Amino acid sequence: SYTTDTKSREENKNTLENLYSLSVDITKIRRLKEWVLLQDVAYVKEIAGILQEMGADETTVANIIECCPEAILHTPAEINSQRALWQLVCQNEKQLIKLIEQFPESFFTTEYQQNQKANILFFQELGLKNNIITRFLTSAPNIFYNPVEKNKNVIETLQRSYLNLGGSEANMKIWILKLLSQNPFILLNTSTAIEDNLEFLQKNDFTDQEVLQLLSKLKGFIFQLSSTTMQKSMLFSKNIFKCSDQELKQLVLKCPALLYYSVPVLEERLEGLLREGISIAQIRDTPMVLELTTQIVQYRIKKLSALGYDIKSGNLESLNGTKKDFEVAYGKIQSKKERPIFNPVAPLHIED
């Protein structure tokens, strides 16, 4: 445990000297985490040595320590254990040092090594590829801090739910792996929350097949919601679009964002569209437009308007989709506008 009481303490001269010798920007550390410099014990040379052994040059070592100064407070034994752990999923030390430079805080969190190891082995057993596991280690490290039993429990609940909803045993593994790789944070939920949310959808007359469809479309984010927020969002959409329960269900299947986003988010996006002169009827026909932020919608409308395309009188399909989808739609409209009118039977005037 490190103290963060900085008032009556002095910086450790030995630590400072060792950092200077590695060309580390100490002012940066003072600004970010000065308390590190006040600790009685630090392993600057040892940690730098381990990083250099893995292939890090002087600049890389300095960058890592500047971004994550608490790295120097870990013992060499802790860091070597962490190194061995990450090597279970890294192709080589070159890849490992690259990951440490990009995500030092994930690597230098060493308190949960037993859980980390058990979870890495569990994910490999489950069939997740090592490159996916390394992505989890860097972008969702807290799922490794759970005891492995907790993660196993969530996976078993998902597997059971998938089969109960009519999913086949043959496709279950692929479905689980896809869901996990899209959204590893599913594992931070409880089994009860997962069951409650599925029950909510069934109570709202979604068929088993439709629930499976929603789970896949929402990439498992549905488990991070509560039945109360989903209920509020659905009620808001029902009132705005003045539709029956059956019509609302079809809208949600078409655009799961109506279920996923909270009322304030939906309200803000709806108001943004209305301000641009778009009607409720247009939005109801193309509800997927609510998946876009107000800023993205404004930018796309501006680009289309510059081509003379009036969004108020057309449908909203051209606004939809990812950035790539929009660029394709925009390109088609642009080339249509720029294409010269050519009359195949008109005489050609060629000067001699």
DSSP string for residues in 263-310: HHHHHHHHHHHHHTT--HHHHHHSGGGGGS-HHHHHHHHHHHHHTT--
Mean pLDDT over residues 66-81, rounded? 96
Assign 313 a pLDDT band (cuts: 50, 70, 90). confident
pLDDT of 341:
52
Tell whether 17 is covered by a domain.
yes
What is the spatial distance between Cα 32 and Cα 35, in angstroms, rounded to a whole number? 9
Per-residue pLDDT band at 320 (split at 50, 70, 90):
confident
For 189, phi and psi rounded to 5 degrees? -85, 170
Is 87 within a domain?
yes
167 within a domain of the structure (yes/no): no
- Mean pLDDT, rounded, of the chain: 89
Range of the domain at 44: 10-110
180, 186 Cβ separation under 8 angstroms = yes
pLDDT at 338: 67
Angstrom distance (rounded) from CA 165 to CA 202: 10
Q: Please give the torsion angle defined by the CA atoms of residues 233, 235, 241 and 242, in that order, rounded to the nearest 10 degrees.
A: 180
**Who has greater pLDDT, 217 or 58?**
58
State yes or no: pLDDT of 155 exceeds 80. yes
| Closest to 320 in 3D by CA, of 285, 280, 281 | 285
Q: How far is CA 224 from CA 148, 196, 230, 266, in A?
A: 20, 11, 11, 17
pLDDT at 36 over 80: yes
What's the CA gap between 183 and 343, in Å, rounded?
54
Per-residue CA distances from 345 to 339, 342, 348 (Å): 18, 9, 9
Cβ-based neighbours of 121, under 8 Å, separated by 6 or more: 88
Total residues found in the chain within this entry = 352
Q: How confident is the model at residue 144 (pLDDT cuts 50, 70, 90)?
A: very high
Q: Is residue 171 part of a domain?
A: no
Q: Describe the crossing of helices 44-53 and 13-21 by its angle, rounded to 10 degrees.
A: 30
Whether residue 238 is contained in a domain is answered as no
Residue 52 lies inside a defined structural domain of this protein: yes
Using the predicted structure, report yes or no on whether residue 348 has a pLDDT greater than 60.
no
Query: Looking at residue 350, what is its pLDDT?
Result: 46
DSSP per-residue string spanning 227-244: HHHHHHHHHHHHHHHT--
Neighbours of 149 (CB within 10 A): 10
Residue 347 has a pLDDT of 52
| Predicted confidence band of residue 252 (pLDDT cuts 50, 70, 90) | very high
Report pLDDT for 242: 93
Q: What's the total number of domains in the chain? A: 1
The whole-number pLDDT of residue 317 equals 84
Alpha helices (H) along 36-190: 44-53, 58-67, 76-86, 93-102, 104-107, 113-126, 130-139, 148-164, 169-182
Task: Report pLDDT digits (tens) over 281-309.
Answer: 999 999 999 999 999 999 998 888 888 88
Is residue 123 assigned to a domain? no
Asked whether the beta carbons of 44 and 85 are under 8 A apart, the reply is no
Residue 158 lies in a domain: no
